[in-house]
Amino acid sequence: MAKIGTIELGEFPLLLAPMEDVSDPPFRALCKEQGADVVYTEFISSEGLIRDAKKSVKKLDIYGEERPVGIQIFGANLDSMLRTVEIVEASNPDFIDINFGCPVKKVVSKGAGAGILKDIDLMQKLSAEMVKHSKLPITVKTRLGWDVDSIKIVEVAERLQDVGIQALAIHGRTRAQMYKGEADWEFIRQVKENPRMHIPIFGNGDVNTPEKAMLMRDEFGLDGAMIGRATIGNPWFFKQVKHFFETGEHLPEISIAERVAMAKRHLEKSIAWKENEIVGIMEMRRHYTNYFKGIPHFKQYRLKMVTTTDLVELYQVFDEVLQQFG
């Protein structure tokens, strides 16, 4: 039974990864409904929070149906990170996750995200102080290392556990790899098999089929799978994995009618959360390609979906898709 602090997550929990501009409350709610055991917010800048930046503060929104939910923050300045604890705790998440893995240049250049993999002492110190200053469990998400020549993830995991983090999610790539090449889960296995480790170790990277999730569970012996890109426009992925675990068979393909219905619900939730029709419509654009992936001759419909800001026109496109392909 995997646990974060006292929060029981089940035998092999499926976790929705924190993804910038993806893991917002509308999407998290749909993933939770479809079987996600744990969800995370988009990563939130500690500097943005202490400056009360509107975009950062909005990301703190969490709702009852999402639980257990973790708020993920990033930063490299100890004072700023500690000042965010009180702000984050006011949103009442179940735990706080520290992002030590984001490979994006604008984050890394400030020494945050995966940038901190160049300074393991600071990584440990930040984690230790966060644990001391928060009444909530502190967890960490990171990568294998800065590059292939500096992978010390077994040592890093021990050091983070020693200062009191409650769970560790590891993306099986280095920062240098970004999202290219294949994720290497062998290093994550080494962390899990280290007899000193007792906190849950979650694997992340390339879990894009039910078979891969099963491999992570049965072959690599990890405590749970954190799933990111495979869920975009496909909140059913969690249900598909769980069905495969239970039966050894794949769920039938998601019908066009189900895809349209889910895309509509997602759109409605997006507009309601943003409290602005046009912004809610635009926030959904990154999902449409995936909701309707694999449908031949779909280009003209997709083009309309990602260019219009008119809600009536969008619903007309959905109706056309149903008539044409349903």
Residue 59's pLDDT is 95
> Which residues partner with 224 through β-bridges?
202
The answer on pLDDT for 1 being more than 90 is: no
Among the listed residues 159, 167, 169, the one whose alpha carbon sits nearest the alpha carbon of residue 128:
159
Backbone angles phi, psi at 151, to 5 degrees: -80, 115
Fold category of 2-247 in CATH: TIM Barrel (3.20.20)
pLDDT (average), residues 261-265: 97
CB 288 within 8 A of CB 306: yes
Residue 109's pLDDT is 87
Residue burial 97-128, b: 16+ Cβ < 10 Å; e: rest: bbbbbbbeeebbebebbbbbbeebeebbebbb
Residue 204's pLDDT is 98
Residue 44's pLDDT is 96
Question: Within 13 A of 185's CA, how many CA atoms are on the CB side?
Answer: 21
Paired sense of beta strands 44-45 and 38-40, if any: unpaired
> Which residues partner with 225 through β-bridges?
14, 203
| Selected catalytic residue, list 15, 44, 88, 102 | 102
> Which residues partner with 171 through β-bridges?
143, 204
pLDDT-wise least confident of 141-145, 222-226, 290-294: 290-294
Active site includes 31?
no
